[in-house]
Every structure is written in C-alpha cells, then in structure tokens.
Structure 1
Amino acid sequence: MFPYNRLNEIFYYIKNHEFTKAQLLASQLNITERTIRGDIQVINDILEPFQLQINLKRKYGYYLEISNQELYEEFLVQLDSQKKSTLDTPSDRIKYILKTLLYRNDYITLEELSQDIYISKNTIQNYIKQIKQTISTYNLEYITKVNYGVKVIGNEDDKRKCLIDQVFAHDFENYVVGFSHEERAIFKGIDLEYIQKVIIHSLDAQNIKTTDFSLKNLIIHSALMISRIQNDCYIHTNNQLKIPKKTSYIVENICKQFEDYFHITISNGEKQYFYLHLVANTDYEVSSLNVDDIRSKVKHLLNIVYFDYSFDLRNDEILVNDLFYHFQSILTNKTFSINKRNPLLNTIKANFPLAFDITLTSTSKVFSSPPYTLNEDEVGYVSLHIGAAIERCFSGQIQRKSTILVCGSGQATTRMLEARLNAYFNDKITIVRKASYKEFISYTERELKNVDFVISTIPIESPYIPAIVVDFSLTNDDIESISHFLSNMSIDKTQKTSQFFDESLFIKLKSVKDKNHLIRMLCEKLEENHIVNKNYYESVIKRETLAKTNMSDFFALPHPMEVCANETKVAVALLDDPLLWDENDTVQIVFLIAIKQGEQNDIEHLYDVFIEIVNNNKLQQSITHCQNYQQFIEILSQNID
C-alpha cells in the first residue's frame, strides 16, 4: 500500500488526531518539514482512489478528509492486510493463529495455517503446543479430526474471554488512542467509529461516567459481540441474570441502534453480555450491595493499615469515600463474575511497591472469603488510593523531627518557648507534646517510641531518647545547640540505608535448588540473629501465594504477611545463576525484608531504595557481580542518592 514505513507513520498519526502540525511530524520523525510535505503528496496520490485526502488548515495543521466512509473502511482493511506479511515475532504469529482458530466454526488444516503466515510445519507445531496450554485455562479444547484438520471448541463466553485477553493488545497508552491495525483487521467490515459514537452519546445522555480505558473496553466488547453474531456465534441466555428496569432502557436503546446499523438480531443472551460489560466499565450503579457492610470493610481495612504499618489514614475523608465507591464497583463486578484487567499493574508494582504491599496484605485479611477475594489487578487499583493518601498525610511530616517540650515554670513560659521554637524551627521540628517534668519521667519507652528528642528547660535524662537543655527565652547559644543537634541527627541517606543490612544477613551463592529453599535459608539467618521467630518462614510462603514478589528480571522482594520483626532488617542473597522464581521468571538478587511494627519512616525509606534498584538496570547488574558483603554495601552506597 504505502511504499515505505514512514508514510504509514505519518498517515496513522494524522488519522488519529484532529489536527497535526508539520513541525510536530518533522520533529518526531527527525526529518524536515519540506520532506513531510513531499511525503503527504505521495500519501494523497495513494488515497485518491478511495476518496480520501490529507488537507492543510491554516494555523491548525493537517487533517484527514473522508468523502466516502465505505471506501475508507475498505482502504483501512487493505492497509491492515499488510500486517499479515509483517508477523515478525512468535507472539504476533501465535495471536494470529489463535484468532483464526477461535473465529473458525469448521475445521482448518495446519498446512493451511502455516501457508497463511509463511512458516514451516515444525514451527506451527511448536506454536500449537503453546496455544493448547493457553486455551486450557479458558475451558476450551483443541481437537483434531483425521482428514479434516483442527478446531477449538467450547462455550462462546469462554472464547470471547480468550480473545479479549490473548489477542487484543492492552498497552495503556496506545490502547485508548484510536483503533489499531490489529483491531481493524479483526473487526473487518465493522464500523468501530459508529460503535464509539453510539456508546459515547448514550452514556452522555444518561450522565454515566467512564474512563478512557473503560470506554475503549466497552467499544471492543461491543464490536466483538457484533462480529461474533455475524459469525453465527452466540451467547446463551442466563436465566439467573435479570437486567434491572432502570438499566434496561439504555441496553435496549444501544442494541437497537446496533441491530439497525449492522443488520443483525441481538438476542437476550447478547443483551445480558452487553449489560455486564456496561456495568463493569462505567459508574452505573446496579447492584443491591449492603452499603453499611462496605463502609465497615473500609473501616476494617484502614484499622489494619494503622495497626500493622503505623500509617494512620482513618480520618482521611477523601480516602474513605474513594475506597467506598471503588469497593462498591469491585464487588458489583464480582457479583457478576466480571474480571477487569489493570493496564497499569506492572507500573504500580514497580514504582509504588510499598502502597501495593500494604494494600495486598490488608485486603487479603478484609476480603478473605471467596468469591470476594481481590486479585492482583483489583489490588493494584486500590493501592493507588492508599498510596495517594500516604502522600497526602505523611509526605510533609516525615522530614521533621518530633519533640516533646518539657517546661517546669508553668503554662505562660511554655507558650513563650513554644512560640520561639516554632519561629526558628518550624520546618525542622514538630512539638508533639508539652509536659511537666513529673509527667515526662513517668513516660514509658512505648509512649516515647515515635519521639526523636526532648527540649527541656530542666536538666533531664532519659534512657530512651536524647534531650537538650535550653533557657525559656531561647538564647542564640540555645538555637545553635538545637541546630547542631538536628544536623547530627540527620544522617545521610547512605548511612541510613546501610543500617538495614548486615554481613551476618548476607549470602553469596552460585546456585540454589529452588525458591522455597532459598527463602528458608534467609529466614534462618534472620532467626539466628533474633530478628524474627520460627513462624516467619510460613508467613513469607503464604505471601508468595498471593502475588508475585519478583520486581524485575533480576530482583525479588519476598516478605511476610504481617509486620512482625523485632528489628527492621534485610537479608540478602546474590546468585551467580538465575533462579526460577515464578513460572517463567528468574532472579539473581533476593532481599528478604523484616520490618518492625511502628517504624513507618524506615518502611518508606527502604521501599525508596528498592524502587531505585528496580529502576536501575545497571545497578542490578553491578549488585549481581558483587562477591562479598563489602562490595555489595559499597555498590549500594555509591548508587543510592
């Protein structure tokens, strides 16, 4: 169609945007605007037989003018047909074969399939092995009939789930912008723009909200429904599912428009299918969930976060409301057995691991009974709310040092000293309590555990925290003493990082039998140093069953279900040979975390270090090459900013 790939890039960019300026295209493609103008002339020559043209509007840029929608669709299909000859990767070819098998109602020979995408018989046999394994998880069966060929059989609902999960790309950034060649090729002859227009207009008319990603999901599910009906493949009616009257109007209205435009008949089973995806991808409230129960679960969740991790988010009204509505949506989907993919899951786990882990362990306790247990995709969404609340509530406080003000001269002098301290050190300290000498000496270690130091007008000693004696007038010498004290307290990040590691908790191995064996070795190291008890291993293994703990191709971060250590430490294992960690994933760096309850600052700092390692491939490589603890801590110190 287009003689070279740059023309493809220019055409698709202009097609997917209302207006596109020449300088933007030139910048993105690293060519001159003059070359852009020449390329567009070539493109227009090719578009002319299809009554298409790229025009230029002054001050706005280039746009695609469509004079004949039918010819436009035909052009896109022809353009997409080029894709078949460019199925360069095994993944692309497997998707193509899988799509073909799921759309065929009759048998097809492997010879036909191999000729269709220009691969050998041996290669297609290898692909079929992978396809068999994939479809088995959707209750689908691959069958062979002598002299006829092969086909995939199973329920239509399961076939559609397989198509959505395995054939369609869910790359967040590209998925929500327009329609890809693959989507147009699969939905050949189906006007995706019309489906989009009907759905957007209908949702807007009912003031139903949705996200860009969910809107695209609903469009794709609608197109899939239409294409499968055209292929004589139907969803059967579920007699247990009743569409509520208030929802029936919008479902009937949209389906009627689809029927008239595409000349199809949409059965009750298909209307139920559309209804379920309408519920899953919008804020439309249709379920009769127990509102009080959801509020109780939110309260329970935030209590767990507080008591296990010392992040008190219980009075964050924004978080409470966000969680209430989010859980309402999740539980509605679960009522109808709808699972929504989270396109940001890997990004969330890599960049917000603390929020994800807090959410995973906390929700596993609140939603512990099937069918309402949360999967990783759902936990990922909830963790964004938890992470945002932690930022709101704690990001501005963590840098300040907490202090108790002890003054024995009465309230007036206490107020004066407090005002003077706040005037000089407002951004460096937080006075968490004011006390008399008698009150202070009665405080236990537990009551002082979150206090950094004491400022007192009375000579005072505490076995638990340091103290500075000042005059109630706060002289210049006093100010200098406090400043010097604060400087000494603020040890640099490297020192703060190294305190969590220890040579006695470090092992270097060539290889190890399996993941569980290595975890047990690291747990024994922690137990020998009296950091954890003997139940720690079981808790770590239990956490491994909930979700993956490998953060990258090199790095795994196992940890227990509870915050239950006597001290915050990290046991480290470095491996010469990659260790199979989860299914097909291997690692060479393993950090087993032990965290003491109540040490939220330590938790946040540690996870910042982990994020830095995950996002620095060079650092991961350097760590794997360390031969001993000294080299490891030196590399870590050099690279942690």
Structure 2
Amino acid sequence: MNQERRLNILLHELLENHEPMTIKDLSLRLNVSYKTVQNDLMQLKRELSTKGAHIESKRSIGIHLIIDDEHRFNSFLKSVVIQREDANRDENIEIQLTYFLLTTKNYIKIDELTDIYYFSRAKISSVLNKINKSFMKYHLEIVSKPFYGMKIEGKERDRRRYIQSIYSSYISNEQLNQYEKLLAMNQIKQILKRHELSMSSTSLDSIRIYMVIAMYRMQKNCYIGMDVAELSYCCEMKEFAAASELAKLMEDKNHDPVPIDEIAYLTQLLSGNQKYSQDKYQKFEESIHFDLDRLIKKIFHRINDLFAKDFSKDFELYISLGLHMIPLISRIRFNFGIKNPYVSDIKKTYPLAYEIAVEAAMVLEEEFDMGLDEDEIGYLALHFNLALEREKLQIINLKKILIICSTGGGMANLLAFKVSSNFAKYISKIDTADLHEVSEKNLDEYDYVLTTVPLPYELQKPVLQISHMLSSNDIGNINSFFDAQKESWGLIDILSPEDFMTDIKGENKHEIINAIVLRLKLNHQLQEDFYEQTLRREALFSTEIDNKIAFPHPLVQETNETFMSVTILNKPVFWTHDYVQVILIGNVKKGDGAKAQRMYEEFAKLVSSKESILTLIKNPTYQTLFNEIEKQGEH
C-alpha cells in the first residue's frame, strides 16, 4: 500500500473515530509497522497545517484530529480521495460490496475490502451491517470465522434472487453484459409462444435477466440443487417443456450443458410469472379447483368481517383474483417473489385497498405457512382497489318519492312524470296521492315527500313544497333538497382536537406508539390489546409511507369506535426504512365500511400532498390540519 493511500485511510480513521486513537491501533489497522505510522502521521501533520486542521498527540491518551477552520478543512476534503465516500457518487459502495460478496466463494477480511475499495474500516463495517440486514429477506447471511474473515452463507437460488434484485444497479460486469447480448428477447418470446405461455413485459424481462445470471453463475460452477421430490414435481409441470427449450438456448450460447435441476428451477420461475387473462376465462374456469375457490371465498369472508365490504357477489373480482392467484400460489410454493416498483405509491394512494390486501395475505399465510412481502401485497391491492371503485359506481342511493297533489288524477301523473324525467337516476320509485289519501299510505316506504299544497300536519319525513307545473326553480330546489339530506361526513368528523398531539416523545417507533396509545386511552375505550395489535401489524409490514408519514393501526380492530389521531413529532424518528415525523393512528369500528372508505380516501389525499404535510410540520396546530383537509377536499 503506497503512502498516499495510507494517508487517506489515516485521515478517515481520525475523522470517524471521535475518541483518541493510539499509534498501535493505527498500525494494526494499516497492517504496517509502528515506525511507518509515525512517519505517515508526521507527513499528515505537515499537509494539514495549512488546511484548517491539526493532529494533537497526548502521551498515554492518543492521537486526535482537531479542526480549526471548518470551511478551509472541508475545501481540503473535497480535493482528496476520501471524499469518494459521498453516497451519491457513481460507483455505489453498497452495491459493489454486495455484488462482490455474492459472487465470491472464499473468505475475505475487512482489511482486504478496505484495500480493494479504498474506504475506511469503519465505513466498510457500517456498510456490511446494512447489507446483512437486506440479506435476511433472501435467507442469506454474512458469517465470520476467526483468522479467515467473512463470506455469505445461503442457497444458490437465493444468491441469484438477490443478484437479480440489484441487477439494474450493477451492470458494469463484462461477463453479464456479454451474456445479456447473447440472449435475444425475441428468441425467448418465440419459445414461450410455442408453449402457449403468456407473460407481462416485466415478467419477460425478469426471465431473461434470470437466464443471464444463471449462465454467469454456472460458468463459475455454481449450480442450483433440488431434492428428489421437488425435482420430480417440477418435471411433471406443464411449463417444464418450455423451460427445457430455454435451457437448450442457454446451452447453445454458453456451450455448456444445463443440469436438470437448473431446468426445474426455470420451470418454477415460468410457472410463477405467467399471466392469465380474462379472455381465457373458459380455460380458467376449467383449471380452477376447489381449493382455490375455497381460498378466495375465505378471503372475501375475512374482508367482510373486518371491513364490512361484501365482495362475494363481485364476479369480476372473483375472476381477476383467481387469475392472479394461480401464479401467486406457485411463487409461494417455490418461495420466490416478483418485484413491484409501484408498491410505495400503492400504499399511499390506495390505503384502504392495501389494508384489505394485507388481510388477504394473512389468509394465504395461514393456508401456506408462508407470508407475502410488500411487493406481492401491492399487486393484490390493485385488484381490491378496482373492486372498491366499481362499488362506488354501483352504489347509487336510489330514493323512493311520494308526491302529494291536491288536484289528483292526470295533473298528479304529469307531475310525477316530470319529476321522474328530471331525476330518473336518483329515483327507484315514485307514487302520487291526494291530500286525503296520505293517511292511508305507509310512509315508511318513502324517503322524501314532494307536495303541491301546505300540509296541515307534520310528517316524519323530509318534505318540500313545489308548484303544480314543476318550474325551473322547483327543479333547482329539489336538487338542493336532495343534497341537503345527504349524510355529510369526512375525516375531520372523526379527528377531535384532543386526538391531535404535538408533545409526544420517544426514541423509536415502539416508544412513540406506546405514548400515543396511552394518550388515546384517555379519550377512547380502546380494546385491551390495542398497543400489542398495533405492533403486530407493524411487525408484518411497516406502515411508513412517503412524506415522513406512518399510519400504524391494530391488526385486529375490536374497539367499538371509528376515530383517527394525528401526532406531529418535534423531530423525525427512524421507523423501519426511513424517518417519520407525522403519525396517524386510526381505528375503524366493525360495520363502518362506508365510513372507512371515505376516511381512507380523504387520508390518501392528505398524505399524497407533500405541500400539506410540510405545512403541518412547520405549523403543527389542529387548525392547520383542518385547513389542509378542507383544501384537499376541494381538489
């Protein structure tokens, strides 16, 4: 290692370690002699003497970096290699390290990584910890062995899944680029078409990238293995023939045979990435089996129980969900998923549909003993959101009208015809009656009463007086009359000033949620396990969304009240993946399906507005919240 590199690493170590360091520490870090470190420190002192900093040495304590002129020192940093630690640089250290570890069989030491990537030991260790957390999702782990170093442990199929997840971020590998050029998309499409396998463009691209990675890994003698039972099952699948032909294409390009275990895994991927379209309903109807039908009905039952949404008669949802679940079940069975680039937007824009999808995922987890990730739940949410939109279009609250007309006969019928013609889409039934006949009518059968004469007694129904000829003024009055009878309800109606909090404190999400729940108990009769159920929901999938917002809520909601609380923190707190400053905790009473839908719709408008959230953070008052909800309601 040359002196320039050693000086950069020395400076980095002194910057990142706030406690004094000894020369012995630094010599071990650089793997050089005590004398070399002394000479390097003398050189570094000379360089820093005009750069706004100096190195202070104290006997029995150690060496410490003192910054005298921060502006001049920062300018100096920009001119040295150490500044390459900028997270936004072109070559991202996290991606590079991840890829290196995934494609290396042998143990490697941290010091070797610092030499390869020219970063400090502290930086490398920090990045490795972050990488190890991301590995957990793929059943991979960085393991260490004394005197040997570290390496990744895990199955080959899981390594490939992770490589594929970062593939678009790392395309500078020459071999991968070479294989990608060899595999033409048209050839893959033709093979799938011959075997009547239909896929989306995203899935097609995913299969092609997997084949590129597989060729690269097999060239390095890294193969997927299967047990006899799994292999036998895959060989019987209808996609096996297409997988065999794709494997032949890989052999022709790579000039190496593809083992049957590799073909079987490619069969699983084809099965999990298929697209079943509704124009093939006949084929779907033949392939649907009792278990899938039972599963869909079980999902509908849970949704109706928790959200008061009855989808059992939504045939379109039944079909689209069934078509989606055929390949989904294959992905669950073979333990792999598909990427959803829109999941963050789905959570933010369609919060009710996403929560419904979470419950559907719970049913699938109970059935298969394996949970779905957020990407898969996001795709399920799209199906439920379409169903919710259809429901909104279908729910036209038709009214039954009684017209009281003193003249009766033909005039009454003409008036009924005019009302019906002008308000046909709002009326399911319209009857007429003379004034003396009203007492004989069952008024419970009607929603509104229109009368041409003043009534001598009060009716327990909304009443509007109109003229015999139904003038344009009458039509306007009827419109206003109908609008006035509509139930006016919104998010602000379930958000009381007492549930708007700005003084909650905590170091992490558990402390924050606990403090909010304790406050809510002062104003609401919460279910006994409200806090525990909220943490259960949080443990399944993080409720954080964009714009520094989190929306925690109980997994099982048994509180007999619909409410929403808003908490604005003094400073952001790290949640699960990002920092959060606005926390909305809500509960929906059983049977409040309509209210829940309206609440989630207004909630989506609010959280989607970055401007509204920033305004709320800058001026955290209940009046600000009220104004922003009103503003979004106008859009």
Verify same fold: TM over 0.5.
yes
Q: What is the 5 A alignment of 1:67-216?
A: 88-89=88-89, 92-108=92-108, 110=110, 113-135=113-135, 138-143=139-144, 146=147, 150-165=150-165, 167-169=166-168, 182=171, 185=174, 187-216=176-205
Q: CA–CA distance in 2 between the matches of 1:126 and 1:591? A: 32
Q: CA–CA distance in 1 between the matches of 2:505 and 2:85? A: 43
**Which residue type is aligned with residue 140 of structure 1?**
E
State whether residues 182 and 253 of structure 2, in contact with CA within 8 Å, keep that contact through their aligned partners in structure 1: no
Q: CA–CA distance in 2 between the matches of 1:541 and 1:438? A: 59
Secondary structure in 2 matching 1:182: coil
State the TM-score, normalizing by the size of structure 2: 0.72
**Cα gap change, 1:417 to 1:361, in 2 (>3 Å):** farther
Q: What is the 5 A alignment of 1:189-588?
A: 189-241=178-230, 242=232, 243-244=235-236, 246-283=238-275, 291-365=289-363, 367-371=365-369, 373-395=371-393, 397=395, 402-406=398-402, 419-426=417-424, 429-431=426-428, 454-455=448-449, 461-462=459-460, 467-469=462-464, 475-476=470-471, 479-489=475-485, 496-509=490-503, 511-512=505-506, 514-523=508-517, 528-530=522-524, 532-534=526-528, 536-561=530-555, 566-581=560-575, 583-588=576-581
**Cα gap change, 1:431 to 1:546, in 2 (>3 Å):** farther
State whether residues 403 and 430 of structure 2, in contact with CA within 8 Å, keep that contact through their aligned partners in structure 1: no
State whether residues 522 and 572 of structure 1, in contact with CA within 8 Å, keep that contact through their aligned partners in structure 2: no
Q: CA–CA distance in 2 between the matches of 1:373 and 1:151? A: 28
Secondary structure in 1 matching 2:584: strand
State whether residues 313 and 393 of structure 1, in contact with CA within 8 Å, keep that contact through their aligned partners in structure 2: no
**Cα gap change, 1:346 to 1:434, in 2 (>3 Å):** farther
Aligned twin of 2:609: 616
**Which residue type is aligned with residue 250 of structure 1?**
A
**Cα gap change, 1:535 to 1:142, in 2 (>3 Å):** closer
State whether residues 358 and 377 of structure 2, in contact with CA within 8 Å, keep that contact through their aligned partners in structure 1: yes
State whether residues 357 and 384 of structure 2, in contact with CA within 8 Å, keep that contact through their aligned partners in structure 1: yes
Q: CA–CA distance in 1 between the matches of 2:179 and 2:122? A: 35
Aligned twin of 1:633: 626
Q: CA–CA distance in 2 between the matches of 1:311 and 1:419? A: 36
CA deviation profile, 1:190-246 (whole Å, cap 9, x unmatched): 144525333211001122100111111111111111111101111123211121164
**Cα gap change, 1:107 to 1:438, in 2 (>3 Å):** farther
State whether residues 313 and 390 of structure 1, in contact with CA within 8 Å, keep that contact through their aligned partners in structure 2: no
**Which residue type is aligned with residue 101 of structure 1?**
L
Over aligned residues, Cα RMSD in angstroms? Answer: 4.0
**Cα gap change, 1:586 to 1:226, in 2 (>3 Å):** same
CA deviation profile, 1:441-489 (whole Å, cap 9, x unmatched): 668xxxxxxx9x5336686644xxx512557967447545423323445
Displacement of 1:553 after TM fit?
Answer: 4.6
Aligned twin of 2:584: 591
State whether residues 347 and 378 of structure 2, in contact with CA within 8 Å, keep that contact through their aligned partners in structure 1: yes
**Residues 244-253 or 411-420, more deviating:** 411-420
State whether residues 289 and 332 of structure 1, in contact with CA within 8 Å, keep that contact through their aligned partners in structure 2: no
CA deviation profile, 1:144-166 (whole Å, cap 9, x unmatched): 574x765434432232233233x
State the TM-score, normalizing by the size of structure 1: 0.71
**Cα gap change, 1:431 to 1:135, in 2 (>3 Å):** same
**Cα gap change, 1:132 to 1:247, in 2 (>3 Å):** closer
CA deviation profile, 1:480-520 (whole Å, cap 9, x unmatched): 5423323445699xx84432321122222152355345445
CA deviation profile, 1:66-93 (whole Å, cap 9, x unmatched): xxxxxxxxxxxxxxxxxx9999549821
Secondary structure in 2 matching 1:570: strand
Aligned twin of 1:59: none
**Cα gap change, 1:433 to 1:253, in 2 (>3 Å):** farther
Q: CA–CA distance in 1 between the matches of 2:304 and 2:416? A: 29
**Residues 231-240 or 589-598, more deviating:** 589-598
State whether residues 504 and 512 of structure 2, in contact with CA within 8 Å, keep that contact through their aligned partners in structure 1: no
Aligned twin of 2:53: none
State whether residues 183 and 212 of structure 2, in contact with CA within 8 Å, keep that contact through their aligned partners in structure 1: no
State whether residues 143 and 153 of structure 1, in contact with CA within 8 Å, keep that contact through their aligned partners in structure 2: no
Q: What is the 5 A alignment of 1:5-16?
A: none
**Cα gap change, 1:604 to 1:149, in 2 (>3 Å):** closer
Displacement of 1:311 after TM fit?
Answer: 3.8
Secondary structure in 2 matching 1:189: helix
Secondary structure in 1 matching 2:179: coil
Q: CA–CA distance in 2 between the matches of 1:181 and 1:98? A: 10
The percentage of aligned residue pairs carrying the same residue is 20
**Residues 627-636 or 527-536, more deviating:** 527-536
- Bigger Rg over Cα: 2
Displacement of 1:576 after TM fit?
Answer: 0.8
Displacement of 1:116 after TM fit?
Answer: 4.0
Secondary structure in 2 matching 1:579: strand
Displacement of 1:617 after TM fit?
Answer: 2.0
**Cα gap change, 1:153 to 1:632, in 2 (>3 Å):** closer
Q: Does residue 597 of structure 2 align to residue 604 of structure 1?
A: yes
Aligned twin of 1:80: none
State whether residues 569 and 581 of structure 2, in contact with CA within 8 Å, keep that contact through their aligned partners in structure 1: yes
Q: CA–CA distance in 1 between the matches of 2:519 and 2:378? A: 32
How many residue pairs match? The answer is 528
